[in-house]
Chains A and B, each alone.
Chain A
Amino acid sequence: MSSIVVVRGGGDPTADLLSVAARRLGQHVQDIDLRIDRLTIDVTSDGATVRAGRRTLEPSLVFNRTEINGLGLSSGDGLKRQIATHWRDRHTQGREEQGLLLAVFEAWERTDVTLVNRTRAADMSLMPNSVVDRLVRMGEAVHRGKPTSPQTEVLICAGVPIAHRGATADRRHQALARRVADAAEFSLGAVRMSTGANVVVRGWTHRPLLEQWDNPEAVAVAIVAATANLDPDALHDVPPRYFVDDLGRN
């Protein structure tokens, strides 16, 4: 059965929100927690099979909330997951885990699976100069220093602006957010921009923390609906255990 898979690398309220939202939209959801689940990839001449324990994963949509990348070291979460006694070995284990997960995401990316985000987004986050270079060549202004004017932040998914916070975002901000998403190669992310006559890019992330946004449950539903092409108003009841109790909000 086709399903939505949410892969998380550690405690992650955003992953919880996406998982609950997908259930509310009537989707079959499989949560993969890399602290617990053992992934296996089986490579044959016909392609690959991905398993979590004995379960075969055949998703149509994957929310990749990990920081797995092909260019850098393991993230903090990636190291915390490793169980070697000596810290030096944990780094080596983290590298091996990255190698396995790169193959898993590669396998999904090479089939019909929609992957949000691709590992390339994490790679590009390690090369901010390249993103800036691409934007500058597009004719956009980028200043990543301390903001001197009001800012707006646009949350974007699959080219669709989902939400904004801070100062009002107009069409220019939405268009620029799409271009930043293209340059940084993320499908789901958030872009900070200045307001005023000249809109300037201030920063971006491919791992937005939905729990920090207003009405995060609705934002998560909008993201899943936009990604899976579902009606965001067709919500189902789900058992209370699936709801997120602690979003870390004040």
Chain B
Amino acid sequence: MGTLLRVDDLHTHFLSAGKVVKALDGISFEIREGEVFGVVGETGCGKSVTALSILRLIPFPPGRIVSGAIRFRETELLALPPDRMRAVRGKEISMIFQEPMTSLNPVFRVGEQMREVIMLHQGLGKSEALEAAVRMLERVRIPEARKVAGQYPHQLSGGMRQRVMIALELSCRPALLIADEPTTALDVTIQAQILKLLNELKREMGTSILLITHDLGVVAQMCDRVAVMYAGSIVEEAGVAAIFENPRHPYTQGLWGAIPLAHDEKPTLAVIPGAVPDLSRLPEGCKFHPRCGRRFAPCDRIRPQMTAVGDGHRVACHLYGGGEPS
């Protein structure tokens, strides 16, 4: 599989109350053609900022991509002029959000909104575009698609709205779909329906998916490869089987141990003591060291680098070498 998107040493900062918040502190990863790449982590780890940085939707001020590179196929996205970037968004890379109601316009019918996007990106006429919209709604298994096209977003359930969002974003057959917590606002039975749909569409259309979530069950069920983020850095990256069977970073291990399971008994939940650091006052050395039960000499001085610990399995931790000091 070829590389579709490559992010290199990306730094995105926000200015807040005179302090620099390092939301992304040098992350690197790649997404291959046709794969689902998961980014997982807790609130504030930088997973959504990663998505917005790729689309260059970081609000300025207060946010700014400070340095790094984002290569999409042959194009360096950070070097594109704004109008060219606009053409990439929605057409080649599109995004669905957690709460579809905030992304759909409440005063336009579903079909009208989809028609606009299809006309803009595909150059179709009005009636052709509407027909394409209805076909797309059928494609995301919406019953009575023509009727739904004539309805307003508030008339639909949460699950239906997310289907509409998916139809809208896939209507231009993007190469990459960024899904930021696409099922977090949905009930678990509806989530199962949406995840199944995303899997089927990925197979049918060959779209790569960047799936951002805090739900490790969603990761296990959907992803091919996974990156775990903590305080603006990727601490571990591996194939989905490896990261569930053999998590290496103490944070990954802690996170895995903290989840109450629905499908198994777990007598006690592991606890990661303390709380996530303030991103404007990051600790020296490894950012996780103040909460880590396995810290030793270098951890509070030297920032560990990503080191290979297996086939495609990389981890940033001194327990596994930690690479050269930066």
> Is B truly associated with A?
no
Give chain A's interface residues, CB within 8 Å of chain B.
Answer: none
Give chain B's interface residues, CB within 8 Å of chain A.
Answer: none
